[in-house]
Structure 1
C-alpha cells in the first residue's frame, strides 16, 4: 500500500464516524495498512494526565501499560521531543529506557521494533502513536516514511476526538474501558488518596505509586485499583 493510499484510508475511516469511535477505527487502519503487530495512540502522552485512546490488541495494551507505569519509553520520548523515536536495538534501548525495556521484553520477547511518532496538533505535540512489529530489524525506512505520513493524517482525524476528551466530565468513552479509566479519572483519584494519606504533594504521590507498581511487578492500573478498593 503506497503512502498516499494509506493516508486516504485514514481519511476515509473517519467519514461519518462518531467521534468516540474515531481512535478505534484509526488503530485498525494503521494495523491493517502497515506491517504492524500492535498499534497504540495516546494524548497528553508525556504528562501525568496521559490518556490512552486505543490499543489494537493485547500486545499494544501491554506496550501502553508498561510505558504508563514506568513513565519512560519510545512514545514518551517522541511526545517530549516532537521527533520520531525508533527502538530496534534492544541493548541500546536498555540503556535509554531500562525500566520500559525490561518490563516490555519480559512480556513480548518476540517484538523486534517499536516505532513512535509524535501527534502534532498545529504547533503543539499532544500525543503519540506507537507501532510495534515482529519484523526482524523493525520497520524499513520506506515503511517508516509511509507511517509518518499516515500519522500526520491521524492527527487531523483525531481533532473531533480531542475535543470530546476535553469536554468529557469523567470517563472518556474509549476502549478498553477498564484500562482507559485507570489511565484517566481513576488514577487521578488514587493520586489524591495517596497524597492525603501520606501527606505529600500529588507529584510525589504519583511517583510513589509508580515505584510500588514497578517493585511489585504490577501495572499502575492495578495499583490504582488496589488503592481505590481500600
Structure 2
C-alpha cells in the first residue's frame, strides 16, 4: 500500500515537472497543498552555524526557501527571525512536529505562536528533510483551521518529504552538506550581516545574530530586510543600542 502511494506521488511529481519544470522541493510543496488539504507549504534547507568557540551553534543558516503563498513565506521567515518554531524543532529532533491547534502552543513557542496565528496559521506540521543521519532542513505545512492530518494525509506528507529530500540531495551533489553558502538565497545575507554586526559590537556571532533577530522582531519586519540594511550600511548596531546612521 505504502509503495503504491509512493509510486503515485512519484508519477504526480513527474507530471508536475513536465508541465512546469521546477525544483523537486517546490513541486513537493505545491503537491502537498493539492493532496493534503493544507492551506500552504514551505521548505527550508538549513545547516548549523557554529559559535565562535566551536561549542554548540548560533542557530540555523538558511540556504534555500520555497513557499506556496505569502503566509507560508511569512511563517518560514518568522521562525528564522525569532529562532523558534516547528521547522526548527523538526530540524533539531529529526522527527515530525504535528500541531493540530497552534494557539495552544503559546508556552512552547512564545515568540512564534502569536505572530504565526496573526498571519493565519491555525495548525502547523513540519517534517525533517533528512538523508541518513544528515538533516538538511524541513518541509512545513499549515492550515488556516485547526485539526490534525488524517492517517492518509500523514503518510503522503512523509512520502513527499522523502521525495523532496531526494531532490535536495541531488541539488547538493558535489557540495558539502554542512555548507549551504553556495545556494542562491537572500537569507544568506543574514550571515554576512551577522559578521558585520559582530565587528561593530566586538561580540560573538551568536550575539550578533540575536541582535539582528531582536531588531527585526521588534520592528515587525523580515530578518532579511534588516540584514540588507546592515550590508548596505544604512543600519549600524552599537552596544548602547541600535543606531540608524548611514555610513
Task: Tell me whether the two structures share a fold, i.e. TM-score over 0.5.
Answer: yes
Q: Which residue of 2 aligns with 1:133?
A: 143
SS in 2 for 1:129: strand
Shift in CA distance, 224/72, structure 1 to aligned 2, threshold 3 Å: same
Name the CA distance, whole Å, in 1 between partners of 2:156 and 2:224. Answer: 33
Paired position in structure 2 for 1:193: 196
Following the alignment from structure 2 to structure 1, what is the Cα–Cα distance between the partners of residues 180 and 130?
A: 24
Mapped contact 2:30–2:68 kept (Cα < 8 A): yes
What root-mean-square deviation, in Å, do the aligned CA atoms of Structure 1 and Structure 2 show?
2.8
The yes-or-no answer on 1:206 pairing with 2:209 is: yes
Selected match of 1:52 from 37, 45, 64: 64
Partner of 2:37: 35
Maintained 8 Å contact 2:96/2:128 = yes
Q: 1:13 to 1:124 in 2, by over 3 A?
A: farther
Paired residue secondary structure (2:61): coil
Give the 4+ runs in structure 1 shifted more than 4 A.
Answer: 11-15, 164-171
**How many angstroms does 1:64 deviate by?**
0.3
Unaligned runs of 5+ in 1: 174-179
Equivalent residues of 2:23, 2:167 under 8 A apart: no
SS of the counterpart of 2:142?
strand
> Hey, what does 2:55 align to over in structure 1?
none
Assess if the C-alpha contact under 8 Å between 1:121 and 1:155 holds in 2: yes
Asked whether the equivalents of residues 10 and 153 of structure 1 are also in contact (C-alpha less than 8 Å), the reply is no
Structure with greater strand percent: 2
8 A Cα contact 1:67 1:76, kept in partner: yes
TM-score (norm 1): 0.83
The SS at the match of 1:78 is helix
Q: Distance in 1 between matches of 2:83 and 2:104?
A: 18
Contact 2:98 2:125 in 1 (8 A): yes
Aligned to 2:82: 70
TM-score normalised to structure 2 length: 0.77
CA offsets, 1:86-122, max 9 Å, x none?
A: 12223431110111102211222xx331100011112
After TM superposition, give the deviation of residue 195 of structure 1 in Å. Answer: 0.7
Q: Which piece of structure 1 moves more, 46-55 or 89-98?
A: 46-55
Matched, 1:172 2:183: yes
SS across alignment from 2:111: helix
CA 1:37/1:48 → structure 2, altered by over 3 Å: closer, same or farther? same
Give the counterpart of 1:103 among 111, 115, 140: 115
Is the alpha carbon distance of 1:134 and 1:165 closer, same or farther for their aligned partners in structure 2, counting shifts above 3 Å?
A: farther
- The 1:11–1:122 alpha-carbon spacing in structure 2 relative to 1, beyond 3 Å, is farther
Q: Which segment is superposed worse, 128-137 or 160-169? A: 160-169
Q: How many residues align?
A: 218
* 1:116 to 2:119 alignment: no
Do structure 1's residue 161 and structure 2's residue 171 form an aligned pair? yes
